[in-house]
Structure 1
Amino acid sequence: AGAGGALAVGGLGALSACGIPAAGKSQGGTATEDHSAEEKTVNFSNWPEYIDVDDSGKHHPTLEAFTRSTGVQVKYTEDINDNNEFFGKIKPQLAAGQDTGRDIIVLTDWLAARVIRLGWVQKLDPANLPHAFANLSAQFRSPDWDPGHAYGYPWQGVSTVIAFNKKALDGIEVKSVSDLLDNPKLRGRVGFLQEMRDSIGMTLLDMGKDPAKVTDDDYDAALARLQKAVDKGQIRRFTGNDYTSDLSKGDLAACVAWGGDVVQLKADNPAIDYVIPAGGYMTSTDVMLVPNKARHKTNAERLIDFYYRPEQAAALAAYVNYVSPVDGVRPYLAKIDASAADNPLIVPTKDTAARSHSFRALGEKEETAYEEKFAKLTGA
């Protein structure tokens, strides 16, 4: 995470730097009876290694600080490994108008846009989100799929880069997606992500194409390039967050990876490093949402707002190493970890930010067609 959200935030269209209105366009989310007052709890589903942990590995300091501050206990579950996989898990309940058992879910922006469009998440109450309203960085404000943040607020910004294990490479140079796809010395030791926009986006950039202006022909050309690599056994597999262990062990020599993971892995294993290709890198946002029928909406909103206090955002950023969407985080982050405040994957420089790209917003039919083609490629 980074101070001030300096990365251009991607995934679903242009962002506005204007103020956040009290409410955005309604998509028809369904409220339910809120049991926050009598049930001092909140159920929070998130991705692995995406929150601060103490040295014992048993405690989450920011969650415990929230409980001390509010009296609300947090049931925290790391059960999201891949957007499509998780969507498949909760879709039957949401479609049937049932409680998923979760009060907060964290989805990447394109899937957040989909569940908002489907009317499967609840509209937030701005009165419970004063810090979020005041401290959300301008670069993250009012995406076109959720004007005014009526339904969700960013958890972290995500950068997609190329990671590698220097020991596994044994002198092989990796600087680009072309190196991943075409170097025969890496056959069977390359990984790409199950996130279509990341894998296709990075391939498009390598081809000199802008993912923000992708056409059907561009998409098919990038897909064909990846298919060729799959057919010749160059790509070992397409992964969710689980690529991290394969990369650390050297089973993957190099892969398309998420920046925050790379910073964490590098801290534990000096053989891990990364490169931002000359053609640029992809960015996106992971978003906190409250599903329909969630029992503890107010408690969920209080927890969302808690992470927009700069000191809590800094504690989170210092551990997860992704881009923070919270203004004012940098001074607090520098006190905790000066190297984090100076890391371009956490606090991007102007040069780094200028090389970031986002995938354009897709229409419903377009998204379905693109995802179906990509699923055939990955075997999902």
Structure 2
Amino acid sequence: MKKTVRNIYLGLILFLMYAPIVTLIVLSFNASKSRAKWGGFTLKWYASLFQDKAIMTALYNTLIIALLSAVLATVVGTAASIGINAMKGRSKTIMMGITNIPILNSEIVTGISLMLLFIAFRVTLGFSTILLAHITFCIPYVILSVMPKLKQTSKSTYEAAQDLGAGPVSAFFKVVFPDILPGIVSGFLMAFTMSLDDFIITHFTKGPGVDTLSTKIYAEVRKGIRPEMYALSTLLFVSVLVLMILVNTSPKEPKDRKTVSKRKSLQRGLRLAIPLLLVAVLAGGGAFYYFAGAKDAGSEKLIVYNWGDYVDPKTIELFEEETGISVTYEEYETNEIMYPKILSGAIAYDVVCPSDYMIQRMIENDLLAKLNLDNIPNIKNMDSIYMEQSRSFDPDNAYSVPYCVGTVGILYNKTMVHEPVDSWDILWDSKYADSILMQDSVRDAFAVALKRRGYSLNSSKVDQLIQAKDDLIAQKPLVQAYVVDQVRDKMIGNEAALGVIYSGEAGYTKRENPNLEYVIPKEGSNVWIDSWVIPKNAKNKENAEKFINFMCRPDIALMNFEYLTYATPNKAARALIKDEETRNSKILFPNAEDLTNCETFQFLGDDVDSYYNELWNKVKSN
């Protein structure tokens, strides 16, 4: 009985540990991009993975940074350990205490501190700052590994070697070094692992165009993971699994001397192959960076800062080919992550693509440069409806050019909802308890509650906001989940009857599940507009305006629309859409009358934003 219970317990633990990994592996072979729908077996995501320059570059960056930082941290950490070990009394105690602080300290404190240090000394954030940060982060772990071995060494043996004629350096390498080598190796491996696994410090110290796997995966999670990442994770898991099996498999020792000799030769070969492989990675990657740098040297440059996966990569390549301008493309996950970077001035981005309310905030804080519209003649292709909507956050249309637009509405399943859906009220109907999905966003959630009562979604009136808060609390027992991208997969998989969703996502979900329908409620909703802007500290303003003009070209706007599925405000591009149903879709391209009661979000000030967040916390914690 005891053995059975033990086996069940062990099985449960293994299931909880490996079920997510098995799910991930299965999804890597799913032909459908949706996690909720099996589209058949495919290997296309693996093929696409190795053709994805961004992912491959992130993989290389991860390996090279981990290897370089581990080697340098091991050298510095070992030297520091020897110095600390030579100290006596209080000095040694103090130094060990200082060494342990970074280990005990929160990583986010270390990351922010290093970022501020680099900014203070006007060091441009990039590959070098990540490397320096990782070395700094890893050194204490090396010291922690080497110090115990140094304490075990006999000082008299070292002195005896010197008495026999060995110099200090020779005595160290012949007597001390072999004794502490296990600690050095352990420190190197720990530093390599810590660097390889790090996200937080990398996130705060990286610059444009530099990503590691951790930051790349984080960006993917924020916007919805692409199947290529499942394939990459599967390959990494399998690689680690194979290495673990090889390391932990101990075959029986053969009696034949010739076989023993062959096995030892093989082991020596494997030991030699690992450093040679690392050298090959270094050399190959170094050559790649050298020739890539030589190719771009002297060419005009442009740094673009945009939402993750928010432009067709082919359009960037076309822009580079046609203009000769080299583009460094950097991604962010939210407006709130983007804004502090622009505010700090740590990186001079040339083109950014914020949302409506954030553009207003940036204008008010004098962070944007006025556009020279003579350099952007293709702005004539913009739909006048959206140019007029843009005036709510850019009164003279002087700082921004619309890129993607959409609405927020209700997505419902026609097989589960048999009544007309035309009002936000249905999200408070108890018959749909545990079948309603709400956006996990303070402004989007409050917009629903405010519009339902006929108020502005930009309301700053205390009584209106309290009513909205009370309504959201009353609705909470009916809500299955507060989600962001997951609403798409849950609705496709028939896991909920109603969900608040962005129109661009709604178009995709309807293609995957014909039973889904989207509506803008009669009380009105949010019209969101993401637009191209140029920061005031941009170093390549004319190139930035060339880029914006290029993105406004009808054929390029069409490429981005087909890649993103989010609606384009470009009328000329819309006319080029071949599929008539898509071209006339009310979901993607609502008429002016459909937007009568719709508003764009506005920046309400830091105090009002704080009050919104305070009320939202009460909703979530109630």
- Report the TM-score when normalising by structure 2: 0.46
Q: Partner amino acid for 1:45?
A: N
Q: Partner amino acid for 1:366?
A: V
- How far apart, CA to CA, are the structure 1 residues paired with 2:492 and 2:305? 28
Q: Identify which of structures 1 and 2 has the higher relative contact order when contacts are C-alpha pairs closer than 8 Å and 6+ apart.
A: 1
Residues 367 and 269 (structure 1), Cα distance of their counterparts in 2 relative to 1, 3 Å cut: same
Which of 443, 446, 453 aligns to 1:200? It is 446
- How far apart, CA to CA, are the structure 2 residues paired with 1:332 and 1:37? 37
For the 8 Å contact 2:404–2:566, the answer to whether it is kept is: yes
Residues 143 and 175 (structure 1), Cα distance of their counterparts in 2 relative to 1, 3 Å cut: closer
- How far apart, CA to CA, are the structure 1 residues paired with 2:347 and 2:396? 26
- How far apart, CA to CA, are the structure 1 residues paired with 2:359 and 2:514? 35
- How far apart, CA to CA, are the structure 2 residues paired with 1:291 and 1:174? 42
Per the TM alignment, residue 117 of structure 1 is displaced from its structure 2 partner at its CA by 1.9
Q: How does 1:114-133 map to 2 (within 5 A)?
A: 114-132=361-379
Residue number in structure 2 paired with 1:56: none
Deviations 1:105-145 (A, max 9, x none): 3222112211222233444343432222x333333146254
Which of 588, 612, 619 aligns to 1:370? It is 612
Residues 243 and 105 (structure 1), Cα distance of their counterparts in 2 relative to 1, 3 Å cut: farther
- Are residue 190 (structure 1) and residue 432 (structure 2) matched? no
- How far apart, CA to CA, are the structure 1 residues paired with 2:589 and 2:546? 26
Residue number in structure 1 paired with 2:461: 215
Residues 213 and 123 (structure 1), Cα distance of their counterparts in 2 relative to 1, 3 Å cut: same
Residue number in structure 2 paired with 1:94: 342
Which of 564, 568, 571 aligns to 1:320? It is 564
Per the TM alignment, residue 262 of structure 1 is displaced from its structure 2 partner at its CA by 0.6
Residue number in structure 2 paired with 1:259: 503
For the 8 Å contact 2:360–2:602, the answer to whether it is kept is: no
Residues 99 and 77 (structure 1), Cα distance of their counterparts in 2 relative to 1, 3 Å cut: closer
- How far apart, CA to CA, are the structure 2 residues paired with 1:144 and 1:39? 35
Q: How does 1:1-380 map to 2 (within 5 A)?
A: 38-48=299-309, 50-52=310-312, 60-76=313-329, 79-80=332-333, 82-84=334-336, 86-87=337-338, 91=340, 93-99=341-347, 102-132=349-379, 134-139=380-385, 140-141=387-388, 143-166=391-414, 169=416, 175-187=422-434, 189-211=435-457, 215-230=461-476, 232=477, 234-291=478-535, 293-333=537-577, 336-359=578-601, 362-378=604-620
Per the TM alignment, residue 216 of structure 1 is displaced from its structure 2 partner at its CA by 2.9
Structure richer in helix, relative to its length = 2
**In angstroms, what is the RMSD of aligned CA positions?**
3.4
- How far apart, CA to CA, are the structure 1 residues paired with 2:314 and 2:369? 28
- How far apart, CA to CA, are the structure 1 residues paired with 2:374 and 2:605? 32
Q: Partner amino acid for 1:199?
A: A
Residues 153 and 368 (structure 1), Cα distance of their counterparts in 2 relative to 1, 3 Å cut: farther
Q: Partner amino acid for 1:146?
A: D
- Rg larger in 1 or in 2? 2
Deviations 1:269-323 (A, max 9, x none): 3243222323333212112233454554433322211122233323333443444
- How far apart, CA to CA, are the structure 2 residues paired with 1:130 and 1:337? 28
SS of corresponding position for 1:208: coil
Residues 72 and 38 (structure 1), Cα distance of their counterparts in 2 relative to 1, 3 Å cut: closer
Q: Partner amino acid for 1:109?
A: D
For the 8 Å contact 2:306–2:332, the answer to whether it is kept is: yes
Structure richer in strand, relative to its length = 1
Q: Partner amino acid for 1:114?
A: R
Residues 170 and 328 (structure 1), Cα distance of their counterparts in 2 relative to 1, 3 Å cut: closer
Residues 375 and 97 (structure 1), Cα distance of their counterparts in 2 relative to 1, 3 Å cut: farther
Residues 174 and 138 (structure 1), Cα distance of their counterparts in 2 relative to 1, 3 Å cut: closer
SS of corresponding position for 1:43: strand
For the 8 Å contact 1:165–1:248, the answer to whether it is kept is: no
Per the TM alignment, residue 267 of structure 1 is displaced from its structure 2 partner at its CA by 1.7
| Percent of aligned pairs with the same amino acid | 24
Would you say how many aligned residue pairs link Structure 1 and Structure 2? Answer: 325
SS of corresponding position for 2:354: strand
Per the TM alignment, residue 160 of structure 1 is displaced from its structure 2 partner at its CA by 0.8
- How far apart, CA to CA, are the structure 1 residues paired with 2:366 and 2:486? 30
SS of corresponding position for 1:377: helix
SS of corresponding position for 1:159: strand
Q: Partner amino acid for 2:384?
A: A
Residues 79 and 144 (structure 1), Cα distance of their counterparts in 2 relative to 1, 3 Å cut: closer
For the 8 Å contact 2:432–2:497, the answer to whether it is kept is: no
- How far apart, CA to CA, are the structure 2 residues paired with 1:242 and 1:75? 30
For the 8 Å contact 2:529–2:600, the answer to whether it is kept is: no
Per the TM alignment, residue 192 of structure 1 is displaced from its structure 2 partner at its CA by 2.1
Unaligned runs of 5+ in 2: 1-123, 125-295
Residues 322 and 368 (structure 1), Cα distance of their counterparts in 2 relative to 1, 3 Å cut: same
For the 8 Å contact 1:109–1:285, the answer to whether it is kept is: yes
Residues 287 and 279 (structure 1), Cα distance of their counterparts in 2 relative to 1, 3 Å cut: same
- How far apart, CA to CA, are the structure 2 residues paired with 1:326 and 1:375? 39
SS of corresponding position for 1:256: strand
Per the TM alignment, residue 256 of structure 1 is displaced from its structure 2 partner at its CA by 0.9
